[in-house]
Structure 1
């Protein structure tokens, strides 16, 4: 079976405290073949997702 997670946030987004390295380690342990990090990002400096 091929496992993938195509929507994961890390502490680069305002709504997560997960660290990218730890997410990857956990994915390997669980047999996940692919992970896509989908961080919140905005070009509007007035919103919390800026930068």
Structure 2
């Protein structure tokens, strides 16, 4: 989206994408995605994926 920057990673349960971990900030707050934000988003998606499904 214009004026926004985001980082997203899928949340997967039983081989199906059920959602995503998303960080969304305006470009003036986050003009580029810092490596630590990317890592944190991927970690959150991984942990949420481990909680779901059966």
- Larger helix percent: 2
For this structure pair, what is the TM-score category when the shorter chain's length is used for normalisation?
A: 0.3 to 0.5
So what's the TM-score if we normalise by structure 1? 0.33
- Larger strand percent: 2
So what's the TM-score if we normalise by structure 2? 0.31
